[in-house]
Amino acid sequence: MNNILVNWHELKAYFEAGDNPKRYETRYKARLMKEMLQDRSNFLYFHFAVPIVQELEKVNALFQHTKEAEKYAGTGPDKQLEIQGVKIRCKDMLAEALSQLKLRLPESKQIFHNLAELSPTVVLNQATRPKFNELPFIHTIPDKLQRQTEEQYRKIPFVDWTAQPFFSSKGLNLDTKNFWIGVRENNSFVDLANYALTCLTTPVSNATVERIFSLVTNVKTKPRNRLQLHTLDAIVRIRSDMVLSNKCCKQFADTQNMLRRWTSENMYGFESKTTPVPCTSSSSTSVTEETGEEDISVFI
Instruction: Please give the C-alpha separations between residue 153 and each of 122, 133, 162, 183, 189, in angstroms, as whole numbers.
Output: 12, 11, 18, 11, 8
Q: Cβ(265)–Cβ(272) under 8 Å?
A: yes
50 lies in some domain:
yes
Q: 160 phi and psi, to 5 degrees?
A: -80, 90
Q: Indicate if 193 and 221 belong to the same structural domain.
A: no
Instruction: Specify the pLDDT at position 149.
Output: 94
Q: Indicate if 210 and 178 belong to the same structural domain.
A: no
- At residue 177 the predicted structure's pLDDT band, cuts being 50, 70 and 90, is confident
31 lies in some domain:
yes
Residue 292 scores a pLDDT above 60: no
Task: Write out the E strands in the chain.
Answer: none
Q: Indicate if 287 and 222 belong to the same structural domain.
A: yes
Question: Last residue of a domain, which of 31, 57, 83?
Answer: 57
For 195, the domain range is 116-200
Instruction: Specify the pLDDT at position 289.
Output: 39
Q: How large is the C-alpha radius of gyration of the chain? A: 31
Residue 67 scores a pLDDT above 60: no
80 lies in some domain:
no
Question: Last residue of a domain, which of 200, 226, 261?
Answer: 200
Q: 175 phi and psi, to 5 degrees?
A: -75, 170
82 lies in some domain:
no
Q: Kindly report the pTM of this predicted structure.
A: 0.46
Range with the largest mean pLDDT of 54-68, 77-91, 110-124, 133-147: 133-147
Residues 235, 300: Cα–Cα separation, whole Å: 9
261 lies in some domain:
yes
Q: How many CA atoms lie within 13 A of 50 on its CB side?
A: 13
Number of domains in the chain: 3
104 lies in some domain:
no
